[in-house]
A and B are shown apart, each in its own frame.
Chain A
Amino acid sequence: MSNSDVNISRRSFVEKSATAAAALTIAPGMFLHTVAEAKPADQAVTSAVRWGMLIDTAKCASGCTACVSACNTENGIASHGRPRTDQQWIRKVTLRDKQTKHEISLPMLCQHCETPPCVDVCPTGASFKRDDGIVLVDRHICIGCRYCMMACPYKARSFAHETVDNTVDYQPRGKGTVESCTMCVHRVDEGGTPACVEACSEAEHGAMIFGDIKDPDSEISKELIKHGGKQIRADLGLNTGVRYRGI
């Protein structure tokens, strides 16, 4: 594709976004917001958006694993009964303050870093970041070296050790490759919300918010501006797309 093609689609994208933003100011609401996020199927993702997540640990119930099961169902991840090597895209973590004995519970998943270490170390270019900030593994070119798993400070990636026989058509997975949270990219590209976020709000916890952190009018941005959102291991300077409150 030539440069001019890219510019045309980018311009039309910006125009459409502007229209959507105008509609938003007239009548702000969930539905209009969703319309603004949806992208035509033939247009490439752009860096005009950056998908992110905000997780409120105060709302995250300890013992609840709705997000984990939703993720497994959505992406066809099944246990082989070997927890140490089973694939895991999202997991629940409990943090306990040694002094105060205060416990908090939070879901841990790929943090979709702006400067992802997994991408830095990948020898084939299989680990990459999309323009809209979603970090993915292109399993077509992944050689299964697992270097990215070593580099990830969040232990977010898993390796498929065994033949996968329950794949779904929108999320092909296979033996010998590394995989991790895709932020339900197949849903996001169609204007949807990740399965975990949906499950969390269905379980009436509402601890997870998903949205465009570059759009100042999005729910997530408003929350971030108002209350802030911490990065886990902020010292690494990775500028994560997944932020936490209450840690």
Chain B
Amino acid sequence: MQQLKKRMHNTLITIAGLVVLTTSAFAFAGEKPSFAPKVPHPENGTTECVEPEDEMKKNHMNYILHQRDKTMHEGIRTKTYSLKECINCHVPENSEARFGDDKHFCSSCHNFTGVSIDCFQCHMDRPMEGKATKGKNPHGAEATPTAIKATISKYLADTSKTVQDTKDAGNE
């Protein structure tokens, strides 16, 4: 009996401690409590990406992958979805941070999520001298090529459909 009481007492203390800890964490984090890393806006003052932020968080890899093949095989060199332009805008010139450091734009999230990528085994993880984007919202002026956009949307739709189909098939 004595032992059970002691155990309950300990549990209560632990729960109380946890409550205090989490509330303070929420208080520090501001209105939106989140444990995800804060992905910074580019230092050049740009606040809007080429697509809405939520879309980019979820699907940036598809945009880059699609552009990759278009550039490599068809010589289409539009800047909107090019990895080079991601880097030119998101990584400041003369940045000390390399891919892998928590401070690097890409690794700030990739390290946290544990998703390893091999882009930077070949591609530069920082802008070349004089290539960093200086102005705000550099892509605002350049209209997104409609054909490319349509293809990507179709690709995304197909992919989600396939996922859905697979799930349905799994349930049966």
Contacts and interface: CB of A to CB of B under 8 A. Distances in A.
A44 B124 contact: no
A139 B122 contact: yes
B124 A42 contact: no
Contacts of A39: 75
Contacts of A91: none
A44 B76 contact: yes
B68 A1 contact: no
B123 interface: yes
B147 A136 contact: no
B73 A130 contact: yes
B59 interface: no
Looking at chain A's contact residues, the main secondary structure is loop
B127 to A, nearest CB: 7
A174 B122 CA distance: 5
A167 interface: yes
B124 A172 contact: yes
Contact of A167 (B79, B123, B145, B148): B123
Contact of B122 (A1, A164, A186, A189): A164
Nearest to A168: B128
Contacts of A42: 76, 78, 145, 147-148
A169 to B, nearest CB: 5
B6 to A, nearest CB: 59
Interface string A123-152: 000001011100010111000000000000
B121 A175 contact: yes
A169 B127 contact: yes
Interface in B56-84: 68, 70, 72-79, 84
B106 interface: no
Contact of B123 (A44, A132, A172): A172
Interface in A27-53: 39, 41-45
Interface of B: 68, 70, 72-79, 84, 87, 121-124, 127-128, 131, 145, 147-148, 151
A-B pairs, top 8 by smallest CB distance, nearest first, are A174-B122, A44-B74, A172-B122, A45-B75, A172-B123, A42-B145, A41-B77, A174-B121
Interface of A: 1, 5, 39, 41-45, 128, 130-132, 136, 138-140, 164, 167-170, 172-175, 177, 185-186, 189-190
21 contacts: A1-B151, A5-B147, A39-B75, A41-B78, A42-B78, A42-B145, A44-B74, A44-B76, A45-B74, A128-B73, A131-B74, A167-B124, A168-B128, A169-B84, A170-B84, A172-B123, A172-B124, A173-B122, A177-B122, A186-B77, A190-B77
